[in-house]
Structure 1
Amino acid sequence: MVNDLPGLLRERILILDGAMGTMLQQNGMNPGCCPELYGIEHEEVLFDIHKQYREAGADIIQTNTFGGSRFKLAEYGLADRVTEINAAAVSIARRAAAPHGLVAASIGPTGKLLRPMGDVTFDDLYAAFAEQMIACAQAGADLISIETMTDIGEMRAALIAAQQNTRLPVIAHMTFEDGGRTMTGTDPVTAVIIMEALQPLAIGANCSGGARELLPVIQEMSRHTRLCISVEPNAGLPFLVEGQTVFPDTPEEMAEYALRLKEAGANIIGGCCGTTPVHIQAIARALKGLAPSAKTAHTYPALASRSHYVMIGSDQPLAFIGERINPTARKKLAQDIKDGHMQIVVDEARKQVECGAPVLDVNMGVPGIDEVQAMHKAVTMIQDALDIPIAIDSTNPEAVEEGLKNFVGRPLINSTTGEDKNLDIILPLAKKYGAAVLGLCIGDEGIPDRAEERLQVARKIYQRALEYGLRKEDIFIDCLVKTASAQQEQVMETIQAVKMVKEDLGVGTVLGVSNVSHGLPARDILNSAYLTMAWAAGLDLPIMNPFEERMMAANRAVAVLLNRDANSTKYIENYRDYKVDDKPKIRHPLCEKCNIPDLVSAEINITGTSGVSRSAETISESDDTTKEKIKQAILRGEKENISVLIEAALQEGQLKPLDIVNQAMIPGIEEAGEMYDKKRYFLPQLMMAAETMKRAFAIIKPLLTVEGQTNTGVIVLATVEGDIHDIGKNIVAVLLENYGFKVVDLGKDVPTAVILERAAQEDADIIGLSALMTTTMPRMQEIVDGVKERGLRARVMVGGAVLNQEYADQIGADAYSEDARSAVLTAQRLLGIFQ
């Protein structure tokens, strides 16, 4: 059956099993137990659960290994038993699924967050997933089911680990919150682009509320992929009735929604939290004999960051790659890279985004440096500061791979030539990391003169890429621009080559347009004319300088003329106030990451040779006050720069430490919070702002003590007894500390008595409680009652994925917060701050 999974999925809907945790609890597992260990110590209980699902109609049985990674097992002191526990679980599932059922190794999140939000690296996650997956594969699993991933970076590490260490088909499920994004800000389309590039068997979503909540997510995914789609909804959102967890969706309701999910494009349907064999039986009966819906999505070449994508094609908005992060002939930028500061690198990235660049080229080619380490730092600092796709530009394969590992998204590799030695190094990297790749029309004899010869090189690159397992939409071709000053007769050969590649291969096309004007005056005039010609020939993605207003104007005009600016909307927005005698203006979209105003002036230097206007070079370098600079540094998450700004402000002596806090730092973190509330920031940006605030506060805090400044309030935080989840609580702690609260974090799985005793010792203003498991929610009631019995003055604030305002009211809690940002606002409200 496993050998023909793709064929089966074209013929009928396959049924996954349902919940495991709640089933184990119903069969005697106590809160706080390790489910994976309990399953192998109570083998017949686990076997019976699997068997019930199989008899209910599940085609695929998922192993009891959701928390079987080294990181998760370490929380129970079981890190040295990864192979044993996973292998035993696969063996039990294999026996229950026999003779015809499939066994999927269930791989859940590690409970860790990638830097800078957390403390683990890509390599850490990759190693943990590889270890678990190898154990499952060797024990006889038929496929891998990655589940409940809240961060696309962690999903990416899991998918790469699966592809590199096993030969098993993979189903990849993300988990989405109420707003249609993951906890770290990824929307369904961006998730599709990143996951699909790693070529799993199926992609989809699980948990995320009930089927009605997941339906729009699956519909959106289906519009953008031709891969099979898998979905595992909860049996609704849980609540407590007389201390017992109740999932509201009946088997009949889930069966009805299963039909709607099938129509939306799902090929594999099962259940998550709260579903039972009865639910799965109802779903299986409803879908019996039904063929999957046809896959009709039209896919495009696309690049993506963690929470933003750029689609590239003739009926998509025009896109280009900003070329400014390249140290060639730029001494200050080269020195910044050599010194390892990367502040000018980040500034250049930010300025290009402000001017409308949708993708950034990142080149660290400074002689004599460790380019691998430089690429690592540049990529991480750029993606920490900005949410934008990148092109990793290097001739050093190790530097390319370092960039690929550390960029959370789908980047472009810039580049490979048509020479075998380069293709054999770069193409496997693109396949491994799900990157797009740019092929230069350079053969063994260099750059061919004639367009037909360049097409031959492009054909070779294209064919070799397919042989390595890349898809058509992964391939871009650069036909290479020669300079009009030295090879004028070659200029139009490039335009012809672009046209031929587009017609013959149909892949994405790239050109470094500005090369055409090298050595000539008024370069921006030539550049913009050539750019317009290239667009007409089929160019998809020019590499260009977004500070050149003539080229930006050419892009806007071309978008109208090629019908890629509907109703000329963006053109009108940019030129509605245009007058012939006005200075030209660069009008760009509001940079949501930086809150930069959408209109800046740029004088065009038509007599210079650089093609870059003087004022465009200094965009955002206005005479901001010291306070504004500190505020913007916090808002933008400039961790490397904030210490310098704070020290300078203190040395100047014009601002008191308390003024810096109240008039610069707090407004910065407040605005970051407001951006988060408006969905213009996501968790990574909010955490970067908080970390920057933390660095600033570390310098200011000793001086505030001298001034007599006290804490805003004391908050005791804990994950309640029996619950070992603490990611959300840890994020809350970071934000609260940066708003001036003294946070006493007791950790996870904390007994009620310990929480109450510590709250009394600290004379806490607030007790903040977290729970992710419905079975541990009753501990919160105990703590609320204990506060009253002891006569403590602390208010109780509760939160967690399984909680809501209704439950908080039911147990008598003083407040409920749905996420880290609302926890800060709620704490301030409880203490009467900033009313």
Structure 2
Amino acid sequence: MSGNPIKNKIFNLLDIECSKRILLMDGAMGTMIQKYKFEEPDYRGDFFKHHSIDLKGNNDVLNITKIDAIKEIHKQYILSGADIIETNSFNGTKIAQSDYNLEDYVRDININAVQAVKEAISETVDKVEGRKIFIAGAMGPTNRTASMSPDVEDPGKRNVTFDQLAQAYYEQSKYLLEGGVDLFLPETTFDTLNLKAAIFGLNTLFREIGFRLPVFLSVTFSDKSGRTLSGQTINAFWESIRHANPYAVGMNCGLGASSLINYIETLSEIADTKIFCYPNAGLPNPLSDTGYDETPDMTSKEIKKFVDSSLLNFVGGCCGTTPDHINAIKKVIKGATPRKKLQKRNLSSYSGLEHLTKDETNSFLVIGERTNVTGSPQFARLIKEGAYEEALEIAKQQVANGAHIIDINFDEGLLDSEQCMTNYLNLIASDPDITKVPIMIDSSKWSVLEAGLKCIQGRGIVNSISLKEGED
């Protein structure tokens, strides 16, 4: 497969369009599917007639059993003016489909998801006035989290690993690419470590095929606390994922446009890439036809505030939005000036749940080094005794006493350093008083450094890299 022409075409086409206008994304898939009032037999179809588990609610399986309905929804969004259509593949990973025992059908789900968009584009080509419609491969956060425990009694427990997530995202992205997407959109991120696994999976695919496609990365805030479910601020989120050099970064779901504008303003001030937002249609309202309280006119008026401030390069809608909402947004962005991309910054920046920047106003950073088995006899004793909760207090004390960064080291011959690092970092993630600061992963062993990086959702620091084991 020759990838370079594809890369050049897609990146260049997006660049050209983004230089002229704000591009319009589509709206909610789930809201539109609800209008069909599908029941269990509809989700099963003939293909899954005798499946052992109920499938109602698994919207992705409709790519197999009700693909005409999915295609029709895409067509409505295209005709409403959308330039970017997301595939119906939000739960298209083996991890998400394992709840329905449909892991073996993940390839079909994703390839059919792309095919539905392709057919919708083909059947509306004479009605879009020559507009290029981009296909975005939607990749949801899965129903598991790498940074939080599923058991309040066991804060270090995890129901998924970084490697499992990365593999699942790699497989999904491979199938979406096989189907023919133009770009990838990992979205509705509530745990940045999950997103970092998605980035790793995508980069694995890109190395394998020899070229890249544009990647849009989207985060969600589920309430007005200004943080993700896993605790990060918008600044910390950006610092955590900027290494991925996404084509665009933004926000979706969780809240309506009026509640997101302040966060988009912040993101627009710090992110040296393109910006997007596709908010919900306000707040949930069970008495509304869409399940949300904003009409198309109400949503578009809120979006206009973003547009008037030139905050966006892309805009669309999430839960509760319909083709009517997208058409209304189309009208308010017509002729609007798109956001101009910032120049890249040359600053040392890191993050835990909060961000930390080393600059002229903050040039002296304190690194707490008592969580180091080679430098702290007390810490070493607690780790050897398995007293991790007590060892956690040492880290907490360092942050309370002013440490900007916590250095963690388990390089001791009698310890399983990889397991110790994983256990301790998972516990730290449960305590926001500690994990608000960046983590310095300290080891002379590559395997320990790697184990540590797979546990932190922030942008950390790798310390004590050594070539004593050889250059390979």
- How many Å separate the matches in 2 of 1:216 and 1:10? 24
Q: CA deviation at 1:368?
A: 4.4
Tell me the SS of whatever aligns to 2:402: coil
- How many Å separate the matches in 2 of 1:351 and 1:179? 26
Tell me if 1:43 matches 2:67: yes
Tell me if 1:159 matches 2:199: yes
Contact kept, 8 Å, 1:64 with 1:89, in 2: the verdict is yes
Q: CA deviation at 1:203?
A: 1.2
Q: CA deviation at 1:413?
A: 1.0
Question: Match of 1:145?
Answer: 185
Q: Deviations over 1:209-237 (max 9, x none)?
A: 22111111211211221221111111222
Question: Match of 1:302?
Answer: 349
Question: Match of 2:84?
Answer: 60
Question: Match of 2:361?
Answer: 315
Query: Which sits farther off after the overlay, 337-346 or 373-382?
Result: 337-346
Residue of 236, 246, 249 corresponding to 1:190? 236
Question: Match of 2:155?
Answer: none
Residue of 250, 275, 280 corresponding to 2:295? 250
Tell me which amino acid in the other structure corresponds to 2:31: T
- How many Å separate the matches in 2 of 1:106 and 1:29? 22
The aligned runs of 1:430-449 (5 Å cut-off) are: none
Contact kept, 8 Å, 1:224 with 1:298, in 2: the verdict is no
Question: Match of 2:456?
Answer: 407
Tell me which amino acid in the other structure corresponds to 2:423: K
Tell me if 1:25 matches 2:34: yes
Question: Match of 2:427?
Answer: 381
Query: Which sits farther off after the overlay, 336-345 or 369-378?
Result: 336-345
More helix by percentage = 1
Contact kept, 8 Å, 2:147 with 2:456, in 1: the verdict is no
The aligned runs of 1:116-155 (5 Å cut-off) are: 116-118=148-150, 119-155=159-195
Identity within the alignment, %: 33
The aligned runs of 1:94-113 (5 Å cut-off) are: 94-98=118-122, 100-113=132-145
Q: CA deviation at 1:264?
A: 5.2
Closer, same or farther: CA 196–10 of 1 in aligned 2, 3 Å: farther
Question: Match of 1:228?
Answer: 274
Tell me which amino acid in the other structure corresponds to 2:177: A
- How many Å separate the matches in 1 of 2:165 and 2:87? 20
Contact kept, 8 Å, 1:223 with 1:297, in 2: the verdict is no
Tell me if 1:397 matches 2:446: yes
Q: Deviations over 1:362-382 (max 9, x none)?
A: 122213433222322232233
Tell me which amino acid in the other structure corresponds to 1:81: Y
- How many Å separate the matches in 2 of 1:314 and 1:376? 34
- How many Å separate the matches in 1 of 2:407 and 2:15? 37
Contact kept, 8 Å, 1:115 with 1:121, in 2: the verdict is no
Query: Which sits farther off after the overlay, 285-294 or 354-363?
Result: 285-294
Tell me if 1:266 matches 2:308: no
Closer, same or farther: CA 33–295 of 1 in aligned 2, 3 Å: closer
Given the two structures, how large is their TM-score scaled by the length of structure 1?
A: 0.47
Question: Match of 1:93?
Answer: 117
- How many Å separate the matches in 1 of 2:418 and 2:467? 24
Tell me if 1:3 matches 2:11: yes
Tell me which amino acid in the other structure corresponds to 1:226: D
Q: Deviations over 1:706-743 (max 9, x none)?
A: xxxxxxxxxxxxxxxxxxxxxxxxxxxxxxxxxxxxxx
Contact kept, 8 Å, 1:224 with 1:297, in 2: the verdict is no
Q: CA deviation at 1:244?
A: 4.6
Query: Which sits farther off after the overlay, 329-338 or 11-20?
Result: 329-338
Closer, same or farther: CA 237–7 of 1 in aligned 2, 3 Å: same
Please identify runs of 4+ aligned residues in structure 1 that moved more than 6 A: none
Residue of 196, 215, 224 corresponding to 2:261? 215
Q: CA deviation at 1:125?
A: 2.1
Contact kept, 8 Å, 2:63 with 2:116, in 1: the verdict is no
Tell me the SS of whatever aligns to 2:244: coil
Tell me the SS of whatever aligns to 1:148: coil
Q: Deviations over 1:523-564 (max 9, x none)?
A: xxxxxxxxxxxxxxxxxxxxxxxxxxxxxxxxxxxxxxxxxx
Unaligned runs of 5+ in 1: 426-835
Tell me the SS of whatever aligns to 2:407: strand
Q: CA deviation at 1:351?
A: 2.2
Tell me which amino acid in the other structure corresponds to 1:202: A
Tell me which amino acid in the other structure corresponds to 1:192: W
- How many Å separate the matches in 1 of 2:461 and 2:186? 25
Unaligned runs of 5+ in 2: 1-8, 41-55, 126-131, 151-158, 207-211
- How many Å separate the matches in 1 of 2:350 and 2:83? 35
- How many Å separate the matches in 2 of 1:341 and 1:165? 41
- How many Å separate the matches in 1 of 2:360 and 2:442? 25
Contact kept, 8 Å, 1:205 with 1:232, in 2: the verdict is yes
Tell me which amino acid in the other structure corresponds to 1:36: D
Q: CA deviation at 1:317?
A: 6.9
Residue of 183, 196, 199 corresponding to 2:245? 199
Closer, same or farther: CA 320–24 of 1 in aligned 2, 3 Å: same
Tell me the SS of whatever aligns to 2:160: coil
The aligned runs of 1:467-506 (5 Å cut-off) are: none
- How many Å separate the matches in 1 of 2:177 and 2:191? 24
Question: Match of 1:278?
Answer: 324
Contact kept, 8 Å, 1:219 with 1:264, in 2: the verdict is no
- How many Å separate the matches in 2 of 1:260 and 1:378? 45
Question: Match of 2:215?
Answer: 170
Q: CA deviation at 1:329?
A: 5.5
- How many Å separate the matches in 1 of 2:411 and 2:172? 38
Q: Deviations over 1:751-787 (max 9, x none)?
A: xxxxxxxxxxxxxxxxxxxxxxxxxxxxxxxxxxxxx
Contact kept, 8 Å, 1:173 with 1:204, in 2: the verdict is yes
Q: CA deviation at 1:416?
A: 4.2
Tell me the SS of whatever aligns to 2:100: coil
Computing the radius of gyration over CA atoms, which structure comes out larger, 1 or 2? 1
Residue of 315, 321, 337 corresponding to 1:291? 337
Q: CA deviation at 1:328?
A: 3.1
Q: Deviations over 1:495-541 (max 9, x none)?
A: xxxxxxxxxxxxxxxxxxxxxxxxxxxxxxxxxxxxxxxxxxxxxxx
Closer, same or farther: CA 244–269 of 1 in aligned 2, 3 Å: closer
Given the two structures, how large is their TM-score scaled by the length of structure 2?
A: 0.82
Tell me if 1:76 matches 2:84: no
Q: Deviations over 1:809-834 (max 9, x none)?
A: xxxxxxxxxxxxxxxxxxxxxxxxxx
- How many Å separate the matches in 2 of 1:126 and 1:359? 27
Contact kept, 8 Å, 1:358 with 1:389, in 2: the verdict is yes
Question: Match of 2:44?
Answer: none
Tell me the SS of whatever aligns to 1:401: helix
- How many Å separate the matches in 1 of 2:416 and 2:66? 53
Closer, same or farther: CA 143–371 of 1 in aligned 2, 3 Å: same
Contact kept, 8 Å, 1:137 with 1:168, in 2: the verdict is no
- How many Å separate the matches in 1 of 2:100 and 2:393? 45
Count the aligned residue pairs: 421
Greater RCO, CA 8 A, separation 6+: 2
Closer, same or farther: CA 6–342 of 1 in aligned 2, 3 Å: farther
Tell me if 1:16 matches 2:25: yes
